[in-house]
Amino acid sequence: MATSTSVPTTGQDPDPAGALRFPADFRWGTATAAYQIEGAAREDGRTPSIWDVYSRTPGRVRNGDTGDIATDHYHRWPEDIELMSRLNVGAYRFSVSWPRVRPTGCGPASAKGLDFYRRLTDGLLEKGIEPVITLYHWDLPQELEDAGGWPARETAYRFAEYAGIVADALGDRVKTWTTLNEPWCSAFLGYGSGVHAPGRTDAADSLRAAHHLNLGHGLAVEELRERLPAGTEVAVTLNLHQLRPLTGSAADADAVRRIDGIANRIFTGPMLDGAYPADVIEDTASVTDWSFVQEGDESLIHQPLDFLGVNYYSPTLVSHHEGPAAHGADNHGASDHSPWPAAEQVAFHQTPGERTAMGWTIDASGLYDLLTRVRRDHPGLPMMITENGAAFDDYAGPEGEVRDPERIAYLREHLAAVHRAIGSGADVRGYFLWSLLDNFEWAYGYSKRFGMVYVDYATQRRIPKSSAHWYGEVARTGELPMR
Ligand code: FCB
């Protein structure tokens, strides 16, 4: 629940026309990730990542889709920057492909790979668009997976080295950096349920992976701080789950606590508070003894951050469940293996309400609750919405136009929730719409369209949807029209 802070009276009042005004320095951005848009999978020395191998494995990705070509952004980036510029986008969050800039994961850096990102950032800066880097959006070099992947401690050190390489190449021009994107997905979908690359299914390994992702984050932040000019922002992006109990029972409250532990506090604990929560360690004792956490690791992970990146799509509804394991609709894809270690006694439910093409319930109050919770639990920590958006079954009409009123409604509701959270005292600095372009939606391949710009994959033609024009106006004016 919101704490009772007085609502700021300057800069955020609804204007007479029914628009909500955002703070003047609020950043209006859009986001993508390398594997989802770049293509050029075998070009300029890039080696396979776990997603190349996974997507080429029959049965893993819908329709056998891969990121080999994707939206061909590796070649079409000037056009994509031009598009962003026309749409008044002020900031662009993209990820650097590790196997493109350090092929094999541990060898020498690739000059060609780094040059691509130099050209891209220079192109953005020329148009006045602020580049925001994500260092890891899930594309671990396959050679590092073959050497053990994230369950292996060494991977954390390789990640920090890679962070240093990118910092040396781009630190003079990029002022905002995040280490990991959604480490929960990397650990628990990648090594627990196996619905993401590398597709392994071992609960103990998923917890080891979570720790080594945390460690990689801490080591990378150190590396970045050493190399980047003072004043550069360094952060991490988490997909914090906004959890709700099915009933008011004590057992359901405990189900919320348990999932909150392995969804959220397993990351925020060491990253923001300097220690793993005791209940998380106890809850998972049947799966692991946590001996992979070495002396000093937690303080290494606990680095000062300039903001927390928050990704939000939909809330999660849980209840206590007696009897055999009940793992059901939790929005994270179907598998015989649960992504939730030692949580057999928790059942997941579909939250009521309208859904997107992903089947995810549309509920902007979850975003408000999440932002006010972070504010309460971590006072003084600024936040950035690094992803929010929705997939719908968009198509081009007879005149080549793409109308997506559902997406406009989704964005409006969620931005209003952000505005309300700011009014309640949450220090939210910006919003990045997921995504600039329709793209490779992981295990769903190209079947789900999240873009504000439609991509005709046969021709690679880009068509801004009506939501892109709408969002461009919001970005230009800093005002959210409520009708
Ligand atoms: C997030 C991912 C992003 C995209 C959206 C829909 O979990 O970070 O790459 O797939 O979901």
Q: What is the 3-state secondary structure (H, E, C) of the chain?
A: CCCCCCCCCCCCCECCCCEEECCCCCEEEEECCHHHHCCCCCCCCCCCEHHHHHHCCCCCCHHHCCCCCCCCHHHHHHHHHHHHHHCCCCEEEEECCHHHHCCCCCCCCCHHHHHHHHHHHHHHHHCCCEEEEEEECCCCEHHHHHCCCCCCCHHHHHHHHHHHHHHHHHCCCCCEEEEEECHHHHHHHCCCCCCCCCCCCCHHHHHHHHHHHHHHHHHHHHHHHHHCCCCCEEEEEECCCCEEECCCCHHHHHHHHHHHHHHHHHHHHHHHHCCCCHHHHHHCCCCCCCCCCCCCHHHHHCCCCCEEEEECCCCEEEEECCCCCCCCCCCCCCCCCCCCCCCCCEEEECCCCCECCCCCECCCHHHHHHHHHHHHHCCCCCEEEEEECCCCCCCCCCCCCCCCHHHHHHHHHHHHHHHHHHHCCCCEEEEEEECCECCCCHHHHHHCCCCCEEEECCCCEEEECHHHHHHHHHHHHCEEECC
Give distance in angstroms: CA of 21 to centre of ligand 1: 28
Q: What is the pLDDT of residue 324?
A: 74
Q: Helices 73-86 & 111-126, crossing angle to 10 degrees? A: 10
Structural domain spans, the chain: 19-242+303-310+353-481
Q: What is the pLDDT of residue 211?
A: 99
| 155 C-beta closer than 6 A to ligand 1 | no
Instruction: Name 330's Cβ contacts closer than 8 Å, sequence gap at least 6.
Output: 316, 339, 340, 348
Instruction: Name 50's Cβ contacts closer than 8 Å, sequence gap at least 6.
Output: 138, 139, 140, 141, 142, 145, 149, 190, 197, 198
- The rounded distance, in Å, linking the Cα atoms of 90 and 336 is 43
| 134 C-beta closer than 6 A to ligand 1 | no
Radius of gyration of the chain (CA): 21
Give the pair of three-digit tokens for residue 333.
């894809």
The answer to whether 331 and 300 are in contact (CB under 8 A) is no
Q: Please list the residues that pair with 320 across neighbouring strands.
A: 346
- The rounded distance, in Å, linking the Cα atoms of 422 and 263 is 24
State the CB neighbour count (10 A cutoff) for residue 18. Answer: 11
pTM of the complete model: 0.96
Q: Please list the residues that pair with 361 across neighbouring strands.
A: 355
- The rounded distance, in Å, linking the Cα atoms of 482 and 416 is 8
**Which atom of ligand 1 is least distant from the CA of 450?**
6
- The rounded distance, in Å, linking the Cα atoms of 279 and 290 is 13
Give distance in angstroms: CA of 241 to centre of ligand 1: 13
Q: What is the pLDDT of residue 388?
A: 99
| Among 38, 130, 145, 182, the one annotated catalytic | 182
State the CB neighbour count (10 A cutoff) for residue 111. Answer: 12
Q: What is the pLDDT of residue 17?
A: 66
- The rounded distance, in Å, linking the Cα atoms of 412 and 109 is 43
Ligand 1 binding pocket mutation candidate from 134, 193, 441 (most atoms within 8 A of CB): 441
**Upstream peptide bond of 382 is cis (omega within 30 degrees of 0):** no
CA separation, residue 107 to residues 64, 102, 113, 160, 468 (Å): 31, 6, 13, 13, 41
- The rounded distance, in Å, linking the Cα atoms of 443 and 459 is 23
| 182 C-beta closer than 6 A to ligand 1 | yes
| pLDDT of the chain, 483 residues: tens digit per residue | 333 333 333 344 455 568 999 999 999 999 999 999 999 999 999 999 999 999 999 999 999 999 999 999 999 999 999 999 999 999 999 999 999 999 999 999 999 999 999 999 999 999 999 999 999 999 999 999 999 999 999 999 999 999 999 999 999 999 999 999 999 999 999 999 999 999 999 999 999 999 999 999 999 999 999 999 999 999 999 999 999 999 999 999 999 999 999 999 999 999 999 999 999 999 999 999 999 999 999 999 999 999 999 999 999 999 999 977 765 557 788 889 999 999 999 999 999 999 999 999 999 999 999 999 999 999 999 999 999 999 999 999 999 999 999 999 999 999 999 999 999 999 999 999 999 999 999 999 999 999 999 999 999 999 999 999 999 999 999 999 998
| 176 C-beta closer than 6 A to ligand 1 | no
Which CATH fold would you assign to the domain 19-242+303-310+353-481?
A: TIM Barrel (3.20.20)
Cα–chain-centroid distance for residue 364? 17
Q: What is the pLDDT of residue 9?
A: 36
| 441 C-beta closer than 6 A to ligand 1 | yes
| Among 298, 387, 406, 441, the one annotated catalytic | 387
Q: Please list the residues that pair with 431 across neighbouring strands.
A: 28, 385
Ligand 1 binding pocket mutation candidate from 182, 240, 437 (most atoms within 8 A of CB): 182
Is 38 one of the catalytic residues? no
State the CB neighbour count (10 A cutoff) for residue 172. Answer: 13
Give distance in angstroms: CA of 167 to centre of ligand 1: 24
What is the number of alpha carbons within 13 Å of residue 350 lying toward its C-beta?
12
Is 182 one of the catalytic residues? yes
* Cα–Cα–Cα angle for 473, 476, 480, rounded to 5 degrees: 55
Q: What is the pLDDT of residue 4?
A: 33
Give distance in angstroms: CA of 217 to centre of ligand 1: 19
| 239 C-beta closer than 6 A to ligand 1 | yes
**Residue entry with tokens 């939250």:** 351
CA separation, residue 439 to residues 78, 115, 186 (Å): 17, 23, 19
